[in-house]
């Protein structure tokens, strides 16, 4: 059973909500960050980038302390308010291409430990530890982990009834996204929601594996350092946005490789024929339409690569993933790429139907070849998680991408 609890959110004053919330820091270019910090005094980027005005380059604990101080300033000057009672929050995002609606709540670190909250990606230990130290110093979590659950009529009915009322927040951001937030104030509705989540066998991490892992490390350390630990302390939970599976938008990443590993074009194509049927589409863009089918752009021409039924054996759900098939049959044995995270010869580009970008990048001379494939579906992602397996890096590009600073969870 999944334990999903209401919490007392720290959130922007209503009139400032649209000015405060920000995309994830990594999503901005340096120029965009500078513009936000220069022109918007309320942006949450000021909190996570407190050294901007000081032109200070502090890192580690000293920087984390500056973040906490800036956060406290926002609370003191009324930019942020804190709810006096714990609530579940219904949050809706409408973009030009997608719409989703779900519950913002506190998820259990113990559920993560017990694999009730299931994972499908590996995490990097030093990043887990760094963010754990960040949480310990700043004392809050501002960007939710994206969790998903099988479609549930009771939960969706609660969401539908709530969104039929007047929203607490309603604002549009500069990228034409519309945001709505509601509080679930009725105690009976809140209890029904808690009970329904408790009846769900598993939740699945869609995005935020490192934040989940770091929050769990923080909970473990806090528990060990608290002789009066009860299990109900705020550090036992982490901020989450929980949406039905049908609201997930799953795209993939293309792979761009800088060289052919000393092979000529002719040698490379010859080696591919061992496990793939190849068709040359010349300058006509080819888009994969089924699993185990790949688009390749090489030397000004598009090719389809169809995996042959002989020569490659699948052993489990992971080995059936197209990203794994590409790695096992091309990237590693032919192109010599062994480390998908750290090899500088490989780059990734997210999004659907991105063959135009692959062509542009290869034609620029920066890359020698590019590959595209269909992304895995939610059923494949869940099966990987159920089998305690992990996907290769950059197997999925999952939306919605969440904003920081809308609802903040304090420890």
Residues 129 and 258 in one domain: no
Residues 223 and 301 in one domain: no
For residue 56, pLDDT over 80 is answered with no
Residues 220 and 270 in one domain: no
The predicted pLDDT at position 354 comes to: 81
Q: Nearest to residue 380, comparing CAs of 331, 329, 319, 307?
A: 319
**Residue 205 falls inside a structural domain:** yes
**Residue 229 falls inside a structural domain:** yes
**Residue 379 falls inside a structural domain:** no
Residues 230 and 272 in one domain: no
CA-to-CA distance for 78 and 70, rounded, in angstroms? 13
**Residue 389 falls inside a structural domain:** no
Residues 194 and 329 in one domain: no
Domain residue limits at 277: 253-374
**Residue 161 falls inside a structural domain:** yes
Task: Please give the tally of structural domains in the chain.
Answer: 2
Q: How far lies 30's CA from each of 25, 36, 105, in Å?
A: 10, 10, 32
Instruction: Render pLDDT for 180-204 as a digit per residue (tens, 0 to 9).
Output: 999 999 999 999 999 999 999 999 9
Residues 287 and 365 in one domain: yes
**Residue 190 falls inside a structural domain:** yes
Q: Which residues pair with 104 in a beta bridge?
A: 89, 241
Instruction: Render pLDDT for 358-411 as a digit per residue (tens, 0 to 9).
Output: 999 999 999 999 999 999 999 999 999 999 999 999 999 999 989 999 999 999
Kindly report whether the global pTM for this prediction surpasses the value 0.85. yes
**Residue 331 falls inside a structural domain:** yes
CA-to-CA distance for 81 and 36, rounded, in angstroms? 22
For residue 54, pLDDT over 60 is answered with no
Instruction: Render pLDDT for 212-252 as a digit per residue (tens, 0 to 9).
Output: 999 999 999 999 999 999 999 999 999 999 999 999 999 99
Residues 188 and 270 in one domain: no
Residues 152 and 80 in one domain: yes
Q: Which domain CATH number covers 316? A: 3.30.1760
Residues 354 and 229 in one domain: no
**Residue 393 falls inside a structural domain:** no
Residues 74 and 221 in one domain: yes
Residues 242 and 261 in one domain: no
Residues 197 and 329 in one domain: no
The predicted pLDDT at position 28 comes to: 84
Question: Which residues, 6+ apart, have CB-to-CB distance to 19 below 8 Å?
Answer: 12, 40, 42, 43
């Amino acid at each position: 059973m999944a334990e999903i609890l209401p919490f007392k959110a720290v959130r922007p004053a209503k009139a400032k909500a649209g000015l405060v919330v920000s995309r994830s820091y990594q999503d901005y270019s340096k120029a965009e960050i500078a513009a936000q910090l220069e022109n918007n005094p309320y942006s949450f980027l000021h909190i996570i980038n407190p050294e901007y005005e000081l032109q200070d380059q502090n890192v580690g604990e000293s920087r984390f302390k500056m973040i906490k101080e800036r956060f406290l300033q926002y609370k003191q000057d009324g930019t942020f308010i804190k709810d006096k009672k714990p609530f579940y929050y219904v949050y809706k995002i409408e973009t030009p291409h997608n719409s989703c609606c779900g519950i913002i709540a506190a998820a259990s670190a113990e559920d993560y430990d017990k694999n009730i909250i299931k994972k499908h990606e590996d995490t990097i230990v030093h990043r887990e530890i760094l963010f754990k130290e960040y949480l310990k110093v700043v004392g809050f979590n501002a960007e939710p982990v994206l969790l998903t659950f099988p479609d549930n009529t009771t939960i969706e009915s609660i969401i539908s009834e709530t969104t039929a009322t007047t929203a607490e927040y309603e604002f549009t951001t500069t990228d034409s996204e519309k945001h709505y937030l509601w509080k679930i104030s009725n105690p009976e509705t809140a209890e029904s929601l808690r009970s329904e989540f408790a009846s769900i066998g598993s939740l699945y991490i869609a995005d935020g594996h490192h934040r989940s892992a770091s929050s769990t490390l923080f909970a473990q350390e806090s528990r060990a350092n608290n002789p009066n630990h009860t299990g109900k302390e705020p550090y036992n939970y982490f901020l989450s946005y929980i949406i039905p599976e049908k609201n997930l938008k799953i795209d993939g990443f293309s792979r761009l490789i800088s060289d052919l590993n000393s092979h000529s074009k002719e040698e490379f194509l010859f080696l591919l024929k061992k496990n793939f049927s190849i068709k040359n589409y010349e300058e006509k863009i080819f888009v994969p339409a089924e699993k185990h089918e790949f688009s390749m752009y090489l030397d000004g021409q598009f090719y389809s690569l169809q995996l042959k039924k002989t020569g490659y054996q699948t052993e489990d759900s992971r080995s059936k993933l197209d990203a794994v098939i590409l790695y096992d049959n091309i990237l590693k044995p032919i192109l010599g790429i062994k480390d998908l995270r750290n090899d500088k010869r490989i780059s990734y580009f997210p999004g659907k139907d991105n063959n135009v970008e692959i062509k542009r990048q290869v034609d620029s001379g920066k890359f020698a070849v590019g590959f595209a494939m269909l992304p895995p579906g939610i059923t494949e992602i869940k099966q990987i998680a159920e089998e305690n397996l992990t996907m290769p890096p950059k197997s999925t590009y999952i939306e919605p991408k969440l904003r920081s600073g809308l609802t903040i969870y304090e420890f």
